[in-house]
Amino acid sequence: MTDKNANKIGYKKTKLGWIPEDWDVMKSGDLFCNYSKKNNGNEELLSVTQDKGVIPRTMVETRIAMPEGSTLSYKLVEKGDFVISLRSFQGGIEYSKYRGIVSPAYTILKNKKNIAAGYYKQWFKSSEFIARLRVAIIGIRDGKQISYDDFSMIPICYPSLNEQEKIAEVLSCWDNGIEVLEKLLDKKQLHKKALEQILFNEKKSWQLLRFDSIFKDYCKKNCPDERLLSATQENGVIPRDMLNGKVMSPDGTLSGYKLIDIGDFVISLRSFQGGIEYSNYRGILSPAYTVLKSIMEINKDFYKYFFKSYRFIEKYLSISVIGIRDGKQISYSDLSSVKIPYPPIDEQQKIAKVLSNCDEEIRLLDKKLEMLKLQKKGLMQKLLTGEIRVNA
């Protein structure tokens, strides 16, 4: 925890760092017990998520396989309980606003003392607590697991109930603001998808031209001094040093890598899942990619959006996919004979402008959401360490 409270009047040094003198430090096991009550056969099935806590399985966006056979061994979770999941060391322990049942693989925590559940909902998500969870990890074959016994030994702050409630109330306001922005962002993204469905619906004024009359397979090599790029489904073609995860550097010479210019497109191994990628950068790509360069007048932003649209992926790409051992591959030769829309240039520009405006709105909302989350994180650090007091 922070040392900003060090030697300040009204603070004491503990195994959790400097905290207010009227706060206690307890073991997690002194506040929470390992609760295990089995399903009575009539409870709702719940899922444990890192972003939304413990929620009904029907609210989970991705498809989850229903349990086979009886769920009588499943554990009961009540509103206000917490759950230790297999991935708790990554994102904290999850809070439940619902009553229901979860897989017996989870550990259910029920409070033993009078606490404000909202305070510990925030505490269990703090970087301080998650760091201590990682110390309590036991490795298993398919991941990592935190046992109740290890959890129970982790030190935890225990302010007065009144201050717990006030801290929870303040942070809950930030959570509500974040939730509102997240819902608005989801609506904007759905609105954009709906617009794409309408805007990319072929009109009588549109020509349908063979793919190879609009784009050629461009292959220029022996440019080893150019910037190394990677094709991504989320951000298009970007410099490799902008990737979040660690990427293996290529072994040996780069002379076989392909040159790509700003405004070119790329067919990658996974294009059939997420569309053809656009490049805002000049550089070189692995020879496994197919680089596409326009050979007639186009609005590149129009095709940037069109190639990522559901309509293009389902109607045009799907008929060009051939199976290979470890996935599917789209070849230029197969795609070349496919006829794709070629609207008048002025209409391409108008459609691109509408979708570009949508993207700008989404970008601004996303940035605002990111800032709000960072502000909340900083506030959590101050409130959960007692650097800022809310009980005065």
pLDDT (0 to 100) of residue 39: 74
Q: Is residue 172 over pLDDT 80? A: yes
pLDDT tens digit string along 197-213?
A: 999 998 989 999 999 99
pLDDT (0 to 100) of residue 268: 84
Q: Is residue 251 over pLDDT 70? A: no
pLDDT tens digit string along 124-171?
A: 999 889 988 888 877 655 567 788 998 999 999 999 999 999 999 999
Question: Cβ(37)–Cβ(115) under 8 Å?
Answer: no
Q: Is residue 366 over pLDDT 50? A: yes
The pLDDT-based confidence of 66 (bands split at 50, 70, 90) is: low
Q: Is residue 218 over pLDDT 80? A: yes
Could you give the CA distance from residue 267 to residue 329 in angstroms, rounded to a whole number? 9
Question: Cβ(343)–Cβ(163) under 8 Å?
Answer: no
Question: Cβ(278)–Cβ(300) under 8 Å?
Answer: yes
Q: Is residue 388 over pLDDT 50? A: yes
Distances (CA, A) of 357 to 59, 158, 188, 314: 31, 49, 11, 25
CB atoms < 10 A from the CB of 105, how many? 11
Distances (CA, A) of 329 to 28, 46, 140, 322, 323: 52, 38, 36, 6, 6
pLDDT (0 to 100) of residue 156: 94
pLDDT tens digit string along 93-137?
A: 999 999 999 988 899 999 999 999 999 999 999 988 998 888 887
Sign, CA dihedral 33-39-40-46, equals positive
CA angle 343, 271, 370 (to 5 degrees): 90
Distances (CA, A) of 292 to 28, 29, 208, 327, 332: 58, 60, 18, 22, 9
Q: Is residue 246 over pLDDT 70? A: no
Q: What is the 3-state secondary structure (H, E, C) of 279-331?
A: ECCCEEECCCCEEEEECCCCCHHHHHHHCCCHHHHHHHHHHHEEEECCEEEEC
Q: Is residue 361 over pLDDT 80? A: yes
Q: Is residue 191 over pLDDT 60? A: yes
Could you give the CA distance from residue 11 to residue 374 in angstroms, rounded to a whole number? 26
CB within 8 Å of 391: residues ≥ 6 apart: 159, 160, 162, 163, 166
The pLDDT-based confidence of 325 (bands split at 50, 70, 90) is: very low
DSSP sequence for 216-270: EEE-----TTSPBEEEETTTEEEEGGG-SS--PPPPS--TTSEEE-TT-EEE-TT
pTM above 0.85, yes or no: no
Q: What is the 3-state secondary structure (H, E, C) of 114-167?
A: CCCHHHHHHHCCCHHHHHHHHHCCEEECCEEECCHHHHHCCEEEECCHHHHHHH
pLDDT (0 to 100) of residue 67: 65
- Summarize the confidence of residues 341-355 as an average pLDDT: 97
- Summarize the confidence of residues 55-71 as an average pLDDT: 74
pLDDT (0 to 100) of residue 88: 84
- Residue % of the chain over a pLDDT of 70: 91
pLDDT (0 to 100) of residue 330: 80
Q: Is residue 247 over pLDDT 80? A: no
Could you give the CA distance from residue 219 to residue 258 in angstroms, rounded to a whole number? 6
pLDDT (0 to 100) of residue 118: 95
- Summarize the confidence of residues 3-24 as an average pLDDT: 89
Q: Is residue 267 over pLDDT 70? A: yes
pLDDT (0 to 100) of residue 93: 94
